[in-house]
């Protein structure tokens, strides 16, 4: 079920692109063996045709960047100009929208890990500490909980921490205006990354310690803020040359390729480019008046409508099925992933959506009409 009106169908299409990018990344990790081999070795073992999947899939986690920009965009677009945000109502609706499916997923994955045949779906045993930190959306604040239970959950904690800042950000955007707000947000994230890279204790962190510092609100703030500014630009009907927007919307590709394939120590400064690039992508997509009713666009919009459910369920599912794929070699695993892994993930996501997410959307829709 799409959550965007026809006027905003491009939002669901971009949600689908972001989620499918993350799914592709996890397919390469868990089905093609990049989790233990590394992407370079996985790429070397692949046939020329499979390389066409492996190469872009290793950048699939940048779907999270697009999600953050989309989140800021949709939240800001829902704010009525000149009216108070209504923090209590905002947090209530965010809680109803995000938490019931999240808690259902959290319970299902945690309980599945208790079954010996599926204990490996969480990659490590689930502890009581994991459960309560996840329940409170604090698990991304400690290295030993940030990636436990379900690896994608850290982004949901980050989202909620961004929600807590959002009312203040709305006030700042109104007072400062889009340009100054965007510049200040850029300066904040750039300064945060630069300070971490400059300090000997944090300059070369990797893994979980890296995640809690670099993947925190200050570091990822600019992407979220870029979405907020893009919403204001679209709301005000501002125009820009489409050719320039198209170029800006693709700047993330060379930036990400450079950082992740050439100079890994420049990471994560590409996230700043992603914020600008994906914000321009939204601006460009909003100006396209045709193409959203085509069959491919409708298919992607459908995936975008269930993208939250797909995001919640796909990683444990792919890990659970991975023993049937990873032992058969990179090429067979890639074909199986695209022909079986993705369709099965979509089917399970649809069932999960129908059971746990659609009732929430119906409740919110009833509340909106009162």
The per-residue pLDDT for range 92-131, each reduced to its tens digit, is 999 999 999 999 999 999 999 888 878 888 988 999 999 9
Residue 166 lies inside a defined structural domain of this protein: yes
Structural tokens at position 284: 């460009």
Cα-to-chain-centroid distance, residue 339: 23
- Structurally, how many domains does the chain consist of? 1
Predicted pLDDT at 10:
94
**54: in domain:** yes
Q: In this predicted structure, what is the pLDDT of residue 119?
A: 82
Tokens 């799914």 belong to 23
204 occurs within a structural domain: yes
pLDDT (0 to 100) of residue 267: 78
Query: What pLDDT score was predicted for residue 82?
Result: 83
The answer to whether 279 and 230 are in contact (CB under 8 A) is: yes
pLDDT of residue 239: 87
Residue 361 counted as domain residue: yes
Q: What is the DSSP letter of 148?
A: S
Residues in the chain with pLDDT values less than 70: 1-7, 264-265, 327, 368-370
Which class for 290: exposed (0-12), middle (13-18), buried (19 or more C-beta within 10 A)? exposed
pTM: 0.94
* Structural domain of 29: 6-369
In a domain, 303, yes or no: yes
Instruction: Check: CB of residue 205 under 8 Å from CB of residue 214.
Output: yes
CA 364/CA 92 separation, integer angstroms: 10
CA dihedral 1, 346, 271, 168 (to 10 degrees): 30
Instruction: Give pLDDT tens digits for 2-36.
Output: 444 445 799 999 999 999 999 999 999 999 999 98
**How much is the pLDDT for 7?**
54
127: left (phi over 0), alpha (psi -120 to 50) or beta: beta
For residue 1, tell me if it sits in a domain.
no
pLDDT (0 to 100) of residue 1: 38
**Within-domain flag for 343:** yes
Answer yes or no: is 316 within a domain: yes
Three-state DSSP class for residue 4 = coil
pLDDT at 265: 67
């Amino acid at each position: 079920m799409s959550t965007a009106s026809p006027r905003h169908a491009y939002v669901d299409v971009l949600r689908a692109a972001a989620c499918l990018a993350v799914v592709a990344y996890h397919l390469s990790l868990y089905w093609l063996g990049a989790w233990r081999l590394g992407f370079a070795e996985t790429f070397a073992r692949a046939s020329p045709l499979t390389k066409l999947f492996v190469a872009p899939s290793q950048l699939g986690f940048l779907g999270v960047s697009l999600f953050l920009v989309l989140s800021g965009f949709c939240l800001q677009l829902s704010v009525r100009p000149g009216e108070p945000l209504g923090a209590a109502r905002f947090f209530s609706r965010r809680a109803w929208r995000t938490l019931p499916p999240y808690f259902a997923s959290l319970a299902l994955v945690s309980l599945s890990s208790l079954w010996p045949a599926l204990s490996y779906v969480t990659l490590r045993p689930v502890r009581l500490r994991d459960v309560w930190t996840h329940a409170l959306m604090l698990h991304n604040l400690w290295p030993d909980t940030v990636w436990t239970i379900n690896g994608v959950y850290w982004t949901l904690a980050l989202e909620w921490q961004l929600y807590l800042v959002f009312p203040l950000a709305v006030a700042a955007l109104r007072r400062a205006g889009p340009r100054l707000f965007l510049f200040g947000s850029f300066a904040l994230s750039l300064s945060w990354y630069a300070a971490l890279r400059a300090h000997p204790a944090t300059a070369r962190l990797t893994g979980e310690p890296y995640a809690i510092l670099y993947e925190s609100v200050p570091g990822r703030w600019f992407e979220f803020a870029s979405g907020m500014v893009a919403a204001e630009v679209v709301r005000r009907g501002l125009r820009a040359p489409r050719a320039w927007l198209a170029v800006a919307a693709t700047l993330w590709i060379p930036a990400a390729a450079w950082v992740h394939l050439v100079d890994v120590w420049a990471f994560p400064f590409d996230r700043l480019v992603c914020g600008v690039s994906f914000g321009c992508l939204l601006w460009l997509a909003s100006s396209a008046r045709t193409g959203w009713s085509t069959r491919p666009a409708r298919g992607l919009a459908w995936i975008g409508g269930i993208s939250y459910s797909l995001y919640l369920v796909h990683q444990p599912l792919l890990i659970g099925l991975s023993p049937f794929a990873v032992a058969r070699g990179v090429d067979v695993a890639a074909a199986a992933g695209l022909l079986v892994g993705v369709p099965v993930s979509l089917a399970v996501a649809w069932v999960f959506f129908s059971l746990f997410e659609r009732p929430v959307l119906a409740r919110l829709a009833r509340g909106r009409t009162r």
